[in-house]
């Protein structure tokens, strides 16, 4: 049996952490209660999670003394640690700092003969624990695999030319294709439903086909000839992205697109949304709703001056940049009349075709017949992304976009952010299409492509 000392940030991100340590002992320093008390009045996710943990602790009071320890429903026990206030820390570390109080408890337990492991989402706290000789871990329950092992939604496979000849009529069964392992040996293809494939001829590398697995066979792309809002796909990745985005909300209600900047994730998503409203005889959606995850903004929107739209406008400038290209495809003339260009973009908002909304106002709603784009989704927590996806109503399509390598949230990384969490949990769902764009598919500029591969 082990003793785990939980930092406040673990509970704020994952309230269920109290039930995640099996038959071991959870120790909560009393300073954690003080921080939960301070956070409980906040709006947004942190306040909601603080209140959730407090309610759980209050319910546990009925099973005994929290100071002496109470049993947990799933096994193990929990207790609040009141002591260790006189445990010595390095002189330059202020002892009234909450992080240092947690470290004092850990050090006190170790010095009293109770092996303790600190669990904290804060890297600096874990580093300070290491200085004190205290074992420290991240909270890994919600972690996804390392980036190299994460699902990409695409693969390269090989087939004989005679099998490829009939692909457009009847597709390809998995027994007719193969992939190569790291040593170049042939291996059977283990496909995931909705996975995309580049099918190469085993004799001619330049001869290839594009398809997706429908659960039975690899079939041709259904939207290969489409040009949504005049946009033409230029790479295999963009053809796959177009397929996922153009399929109806009944066939593909959730699309997850990961990849570096410049791979047209936001641009293509907006183009398909506009196509679904303005170019279909029977519009697929009532509107396009765009929200962009931003670490500080979503918590502090209530303190900013102006209306909701005025508050979020600066953060949605990347959306405006893409719309300017979409509403005027003539690159030579586009910026000659800035007012006319701006009027075209403004008209989309004034007519209600596109609206922007802060994430705080999306959570808790039921959103129907909407094309919902969540940009910068790598800055969402797993709970936030779950809260968004589970609010989807009939006829809505959710598009999660982001780059897991560009995270601004202080407690998230490439394995714990909401974008990769959703991707790994929804892998294999017939309702989810997902795709990783690659750096060599950058379409922004030659400089952007060069920088994405070098920097």
Whether residue 90 sits in one domain with residue 166: no
CB-neighbour burial class of residue 356 (10 A; exposed 0-12, middle 13-18, buried 19+): buried
- Which residue, chain included where needed, has tokens 């705080």? 360
- CA–CA dist 435, 209 (Å, integer): 17
Alpha carbon distances (Å) from 71 to 17, 23, 237, 393: 15, 10, 52, 40
Q: What is the pLDDT of residue 292?
A: 84
Q: Above pLDDT 90, what percent of the chain?
A: 65
Residue 413 has pLDDT above 90, yes or no: no
Please give the average per-residue pLDDT across 56-78, as a whole number. 93
- CA–CA dist 26, 90 (Å, integer): 26
Q: What is the pLDDT of residue 309?
A: 57
Is 282 among the domain residues?
Answer: yes
Whether residue 10 sits in one domain with residue 65: yes
Is 273 among the domain residues?
Answer: yes
Whether residue 267 sits in one domain with residue 242: yes
More confident residue, 157 or 342: 157
Q: What is the pLDDT of residue 172?
A: 96
Q: What is the pLDDT of residue 377?
A: 94
Whether residue 165 sits in one domain with residue 115: no
Residue 145 has pLDDT above 90, yes or no: no
Whether residue 192 sits in one domain with residue 57: no
Is 225 among the domain residues?
Answer: no
Whether residue 181 sits in one domain with residue 236: no
Torsion angles phi and psi, residue 84, rounded to 5: 75, 10
**161-216 residue pLDDT tens:** 999 999 999 999 999 999 999 898 999 999 999 999 999 998 887 899 999 999 99
Residue 99 has pLDDT above 60, yes or no: yes
- CA–CA dist 389, 368 (Å, integer): 12
**339-376 residue pLDDT tens:** 888 888 899 999 999 988 877 667 667 789 999 999 99
133-137, 228-232, 305-309 — which is least confidently predicted? 305-309
Q: What is the pLDDT of residue 333?
A: 61
Q: What is the pLDDT of residue 425?
A: 94
The model's confidence at residue 334, banded by pLDDT at 50, 70 and 90, is low
Is 323 among the domain residues?
Answer: yes
Please give the average per-residue pLDDT across 432-446, as a whole number. 86
Q: Six-digit token pair at 329?
A: 């495809």
Q: Secondary structure of the chain in the HEC alphabet?
A: CCEEEECHHHHHHCHHHHHCCCCCEEEEEHHHHHHHHHHCCCCCHHHHHHHHHHHHHHHHHHHCCCCCCEECCCCCEEEEECCCCCCCCCCCCCCCCHHHHHHHHHHHHHHCCCCEEEECCCHHHHHHHHHCCCCEECCCCCCCCCHHHCCCCEEEEEECHHHHHCHHHHCECHHHEEEECCCCCEEECCCCCCCEEEEEECCCCCCEEEEEECCCCEEECCCCCCCHHHCCCCCHHHHHHHHHHHCCCCCCCEEEEECCCCCCHHHHHHHHHHHHHHHCCCCCCCEEEEEECCCCHHHHHHHCCCCHHHHHHHHHHHHHHHHHHHHCCCCCCCCCCHHHHHHHHHHHHHCCCEEECCHHHHCCCCECCEEEEEECHHHCCHHHHHHHHCCECCCCEEEEEECCCCCCCCCCCCCCCHHHHHHHHHCCCCCEEEEECCHHHCCCCHHHHHHHHHC
Whether residue 263 sits in one domain with residue 166: no
What CATH number is given to the structural domain containing 337? Answer: 3.40.50.300
The residue out of 191, 220, 249 marking a domain boundary is 220
Residue 226 has pLDDT above 60, yes or no: yes
Average pLDDT, the chain: 89
Residue 425: beta bridge partners? none
Residue 376: beta bridge partners? none
Q: What is the pLDDT of residue 354?
A: 94
The answer to whether residues 3 and 74 touch, using CB atoms and an 8 Å cutoff, is no
**367-410 residue pLDDT tens:** 899 999 999 999 998 888 998 898 888 999 999 999 998 988 88
Non-local (6+) Cβ contacts of 353 within 8 A are 274, 277, 278, 287, 288
Q: What is the pLDDT of residue 319?
A: 87
Domain encompassing residue 166: 144-220
Which strand ranges, in their side-by-side order, compose the sheet holding 370-375?
Answer: 354-356, 287-292, 370-375, 397-402, 254-258, 432-436
Residue 308 has pLDDT above 60, yes or no: no
Q: What is the pLDDT of residue 337?
A: 74
Q: What is the pLDDT of residue 325?
A: 87
The residue out of 137, 167, 185 marking a domain boundary is 137
Triad 143, 148, 153: Cα angle to 5°? 90
Q: What is the pLDDT of residue 311?
A: 58
Is 100 among the domain residues?
Answer: yes
198-212, 281-295, 420-434 — which is least confidently predicted? 281-295
Whether residue 237 sits in one domain with residue 196: no
**122-140 residue pLDDT tens:** 999 999 999 999 999 999 8
Is 106 among the domain residues?
Answer: yes
Residue 296 has pLDDT above 60, yes or no: no
Residue 42 has pLDDT above 80, yes or no: yes
How many domains are contained in the chain?
3
The model's confidence at residue 297, banded by pLDDT at 50, 70 and 90, is very low
Residue 298 has pLDDT above 80, yes or no: no
Whether residue 169 sits in one domain with residue 126: no
Whether residue 363 sits in one domain with residue 259: yes
Residue 324 has pLDDT above 80, yes or no: yes
Is 235 among the domain residues?
Answer: yes
The residue out of 188, 220, 252 marking a domain boundary is 220
User: Closest Cα partner for 164 from 156, 152, 173?
Assistant: 173
Residue 249 has pLDDT above 90, yes or no: yes
What CATH number is given to the structural domain containing 99? Answer: 3.40.50.1010
Whether residue 184 sits in one domain with residue 261: no
User: Closest Cα partner for 3 from 162, 110, 99, 121?
Assistant: 110
| Torsion angle, alpha carbons of 413, 418, 424, 430, to 10 | -160
Non-local (6+) Cβ contacts of 339 within 8 A are none
Is 35 among the domain residues?
Answer: yes
Whether residue 185 sits in one domain with residue 254: no
**What's the residue count for the chain?**
455
Q: What is the pLDDT of residue 13?
A: 87
Please give the average per-residue pLDDT across 417-433, as a whole number. 95
- CA–CA dist 23, 42 (Å, integer): 33
- CA–CA dist 366, 448 (Å, integer): 38
């Amino acid at each position: 049996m082990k003793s785990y000392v939980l930092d406040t940030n673990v509970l704020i991100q994952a309230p269920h952490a109290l039930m995640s340590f099996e038959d071991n002992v959870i120790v909560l320093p009393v300073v954690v209660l003080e921080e939960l008390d301070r956070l409980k009045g906040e709006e947004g996710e942190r306040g909601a999670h603080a209140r959730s943990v407090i309610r759980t602790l209050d319910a546990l009071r009925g099973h005994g003394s929290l100071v002496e320890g109470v049993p947990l429903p799933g096994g193990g026990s929990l207790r609040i640690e009141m002591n260790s206030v006189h445990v010595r820390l390095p002189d330059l570390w202020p002892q009234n700092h909450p992080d240092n109080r947690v470290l004092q408890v850990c050090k006190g337990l170790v010095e009293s003969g109770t092996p303790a492991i600190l669990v904290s989402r804060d890297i600096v706290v874990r580093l300070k624990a290491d200085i004190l000789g205290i074992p420290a871990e991240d909270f890994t329950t919600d972690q996804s695999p390392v980036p190299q092992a994460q699902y990409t939604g695409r693969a390269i496979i090989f087939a004989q030319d005679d099998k490829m000849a009939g692909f457009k009529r009847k597709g390809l069964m998995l027994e007719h294709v193969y992939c190569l392992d790291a040593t170049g040996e042939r291996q059977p293809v283990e496909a995931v439903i909705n996975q995309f494939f580049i099918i190469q001829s085993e004799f001619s590398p330049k001869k290839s086909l594009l398809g997706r697995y429908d659960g039975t066979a690899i079939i041709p792309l259904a939207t290969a000839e489409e040009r949504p809002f005049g946009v033409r796909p230029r790479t295999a990745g963009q053809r796959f992205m177009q397929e996922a985005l153009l399929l109806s909300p009944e066939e593909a209600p959730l699309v997850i697109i990961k990849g570096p900047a410049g791979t047209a994730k936001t641009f293509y998503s907006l183009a398909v949304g506009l196509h679904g409203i303005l170019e279909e005889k029977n519009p697929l959606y009532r509107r396009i709703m765009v929200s962009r995850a931003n670490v500080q903004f979503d918590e502090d929107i209530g303190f900013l001056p102006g209306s909701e739209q005025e508050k979020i406008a600066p953060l949605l400038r990347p959306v405006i940049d893409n719309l300017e290209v979409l509403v005027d495809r003539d690159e030579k003339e586009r910026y000659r009349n800035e007012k006319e260009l701006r009027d075209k973009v403004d008209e989309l908002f004034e007519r209600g075709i596109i609206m922007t909304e802060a994430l705080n106002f999306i959570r808790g709603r039921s959103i129907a017949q909407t094309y919902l784009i969540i940009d910068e989704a790598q800055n969402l927590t797993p709970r936030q992304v779950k809260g968004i996806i589970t609010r989807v109503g009939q006829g809505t399509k959710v598009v999660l976009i982001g780059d897991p390598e560009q995270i601004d949230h202080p407690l998230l990384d490439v394995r714990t952010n909401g974008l990769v969490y959703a991707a790994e949990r929804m892998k294999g769902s017939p309702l989810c299409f997902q795709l990783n764009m690659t750096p060599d598919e950058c379409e922004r500029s030659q400089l952007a492509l060069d920088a994405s591969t070098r920097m």
